[in-house]
């Protein structure tokens, strides 16, 4: 067993005797980024690659470019700089701590820092792994009220372990192999989750449009995305089966959100961060337990559900009531979302401009079985989704375990707790 010493840093602990602890600035020049004037069309859609924190993720080692490029005029108009191939790019806000290596020459916005090696004593791939596991630490150094950001100066003075460069290479090569194996397993599980989610959607759409009896006599529904439906079902406009509700807000009401997974609940039941908060609650409305809610902007993505809480919400949420089976109507509306019916109602060129206000929901056509059949369909869907969700939850737990194992593996080797054998 090799000799160890105290690193002097609590989150690193002991390191090998022959390793150093050095500030990032000893080995890297830090390059700041910038954004040209967004409304100037002459600055955008050129040939110069430009990235923001949204363009790279922790699990992706390399970044080749972003969603938008700059023109030479745009590049010259701001203080961004080109990063050489192989540089480290670090997200210093929204969120803090994501990291990648540039696979092409590119520049960055003000949400990123570029790290260009200058000492000849460090390997970028090794430091990619070091930085990738310390996002929680970097967040501790962040400051700000609107969002947390770590300054270039603070980041430059953070100390990280520095092994001899040959050992850096052995560690990086070893982690490349091991992390690739973990990533294969992760991708496979993610694919399984995706297939299960698609299965859930197909069950919902099939049952609310075709019923449970495969031998039922069918007739044309007159609805393009449905085709034939059971002959004994009716087609009714939304305005004849739904009621648009506008309820008063109570003084102690918390804010309710309709999430894309269909859960309608108090924000505090899910998370408090990541939301845009209104300074003035203009037009806010009350929502009761059991209310059917359709998100006016995100309904196309499945933000349709029944509230489990009493609270208040912005007017972008449609609060509905019906004498029909409420969960059947909920599932029917979701099937519209899954079948891109709502996207066809988009009022602009962007998906987010899809506006599902009451006047549109009221004019849509709904396939309506007898009430007892609505209840049977709901019971069937609930049962299938419950079983699928249990499997999905298990798969997500597996992903969390793999992620923790990957982080632990990286930590053990980049801090010298475990040693890669010399071949």
Q: Provide the pLDDT for residue 301.
A: 87
| Whether residue 168 sits in one domain with residue 157 | no
Q: Provide the pLDDT for residue 343.
A: 84
Structure tokens at 60: 């992706």
Q: Using one digit for the tens of pLDDT, what is the confidence trace for 16-51? A: 999 999 999 999 999 999 999 999 999 999 999 999
Q: How many residues does the chain have?
A: 423
Other beta carbons less than 10 A from residue 40's beta carbon = 12
| Whether residue 201 sits in one domain with residue 258 | no
| Whether residue 26 sits in one domain with residue 153 | yes
Structure tokens at 309: 């809480």
| Whether residue 196 sits in one domain with residue 63 | no
| Whether residue 121 sits in one domain with residue 104 | yes
Please report, for residues 59, 170, 402, the alpha-carbon distance to residue 177 in angstroms, rounded to integers and kept in the order given: 14, 11, 15
Which has the closest alpha carbon to 35: 24, 44, 23? 44
What dihedral do alpha carbons 399, 405, 410, 415 form, nearest 10°?
A: 150
Q: Provide the pLDDT for residue 276.
A: 46
Q: Report whether 249 contacts 374 (CB < 8 A).
A: no
Provide the CATH number for the domain around residue 398.
1.10.287.1120
Torsion over CA: 388, 391, 393, 398 (sign) = negative
| Whether residue 201 sits in one domain with residue 82 | no
- Domain presence at residue 242: yes
Low-confidence ranges of the chain (pLDDT < 70): 271-281, 346-354
Those residues whose C-beta lies under 8 Å from the C-beta of residue 226, and which sit 6 or more positions away, are 209, 367
- Domain presence at residue 177: yes
Per-residue b or e along 120-157, where b marks 16 or more CB atoms closer than 10 Å to that residue's CB: eebbbbbbbbbbbbbbebbeebbeeeeebbbeeeebbe
Structure tokens at 23: 């500030």
Alpha helices in 152-256 (DSSP H): 152-156, 165-210
Residue with tokens 């050129």: 46
State how many domains the chain has: 3
Q: Please state the separation of Cα 32 from the chain's center in Å.
A: 26
Please report, for residues 128, 241, 286, 292, 381, the alpha-carbon distance to residue 323 in angstroms, rounded to integers and kept in the order given: 58, 7, 20, 12, 20
What dihedral do alpha carbons 222, 224, 227, 231 form, nearest 10°?
A: -20
Q: What are phi and psi of 99, to 5 degrees?
A: -145, 150
Q: Which domain holds residue 423?
A: 164-212+369-423
Q: Report whether 246 contacts 325 (CB < 8 A).
A: no
| Whether residue 121 sits in one domain with residue 197 | no
Q: Report whether 49 contacts 104 (CB < 8 A).
A: yes
| Whether residue 63 sits in one domain with residue 123 | yes
Provide the CATH number for the domain around residue 29.
3.90.220.20
- Domain presence at residue 227: no
- Which string of DSSP letters, residue by residue, matches 49-94? EEE-GGG--TT-SEE---SEEE-HHHHHHSS--PBPTT-EEEEEBS
Q: Provide the pLDDT for residue 98.
A: 94
CA angle 192, 194, 195 (to 5 degrees): 65
| Cα separation, 420 vs 173, whole angstroms | 10
| Whether residue 421 sits in one domain with residue 337 | no
Among 134, 163, 192, identify where a domain stops.
163
Q: Report whether 335 contacts 221 (CB < 8 A).
A: no
Burial class (CB in 10 A: 0-12, 13-18, 19+), 308: middle
Residue with tokens 């992620």: 403
Residue with tokens 């090696």: 117
| Cα separation, 178 vs 180, whole angstroms | 5
- Domain presence at residue 63: yes
| Whether residue 279 sits in one domain with residue 395 | no
Which has the closest alpha carbon to 263: 351, 360, 385, 368? 385
Q: Provide the pLDDT for residue 357.
A: 87
Could you tell me which residues are beta bridge partners of residue 219?
A: 229
| Whether residue 374 sits in one domain with residue 363 | no
| Whether residue 349 sits in one domain with residue 238 | yes
Q: Provide the pLDDT for residue 205.
A: 97
Q: Report whether 247 contacts 287 (CB < 8 A).
A: yes
């Amino acid at each position: 067993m090799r000799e160890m010493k105290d690193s002097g840093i609590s989150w690193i602990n002991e390191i090998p005797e022959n390793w150093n602890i050095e500030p990032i600035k000893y080995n890297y020049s830090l390059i700041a980024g910038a954004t040209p004037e967004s409304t100037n069309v002459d600055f955008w859609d050129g040939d110069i690659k430009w990235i923001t924190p949204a363009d790279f993720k922790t699990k992706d080692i390399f970044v080749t470019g972003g969603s938008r490029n700059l023109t030479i005029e745009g590049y010259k108009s701001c203080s961004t700089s080109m990063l050489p191939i192989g540089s480290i790019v670090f997200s210093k806000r929204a969120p803090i701590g994501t990291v990648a290596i540039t696979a092409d020459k590119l520049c960055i916005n003000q949400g990123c820092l570029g790290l260009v090696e200058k000492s000849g004593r460090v390997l970028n791939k090794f430091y990619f792994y070091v930085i990738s596991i310390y996002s929680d630490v970097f967040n501790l150094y962040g400051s700000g009220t609107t969002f947390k950001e770590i300054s270039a100066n603070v980041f430059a003075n953070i100390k990280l372990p520095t092994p001899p460069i040959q050992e850096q290479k052995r560690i990086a090569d070893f982690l490349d192999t091991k992390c690739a194996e973990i990533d294969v397993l992760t991708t496979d599980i993610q694919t399984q989750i995706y297939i299960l989610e698609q299965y859930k959607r197909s069950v919902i759409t099939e049952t609310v449009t075709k019923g449970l009896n495969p031998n039922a006599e069918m007739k044309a529904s007159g609805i393009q995305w449905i085709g034939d439906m059971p002959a004994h079902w009716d087609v009714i406009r939304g305005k004849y089966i739904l009621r648009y509700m506008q309820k008063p807000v109570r003084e102690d009401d918390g804010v309710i959100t309709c999430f894309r997974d269909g859960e309608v609940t108090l924000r505090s039941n899910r998370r408090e961060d990541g939301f845009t908060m209104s300074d003035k609650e203009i037009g806010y409305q009350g929502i009761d337990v059991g209310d059917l809610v359709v998100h006016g902007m995100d309904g196309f993505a499945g933000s349709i559900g029944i509230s489990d809480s009493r609270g208040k919400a912005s007017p972008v949420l449609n609060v509905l009531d019906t004498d029909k089976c409420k969960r059947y109507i909920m599932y029917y509306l979701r099937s519209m979302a899954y079948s891109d019916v709502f996207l066809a109602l988009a009022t602009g060129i962007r998906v987010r401009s899809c506006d599902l206000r009451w006047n549109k929901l009221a004019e849509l056509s709904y396939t309506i079985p007898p009430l007892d059949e609505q209840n049977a369909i709901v019971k069937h869907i609930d049962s299938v989704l419950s079983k699928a969700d249990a499997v999905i939850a298990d798969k997500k737990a597996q992903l969390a375990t793999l992620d923790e194992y990957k982080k632990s593996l990286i930590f053990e080797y980049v801090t010298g707790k475990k040693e890669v054998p010399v071949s």
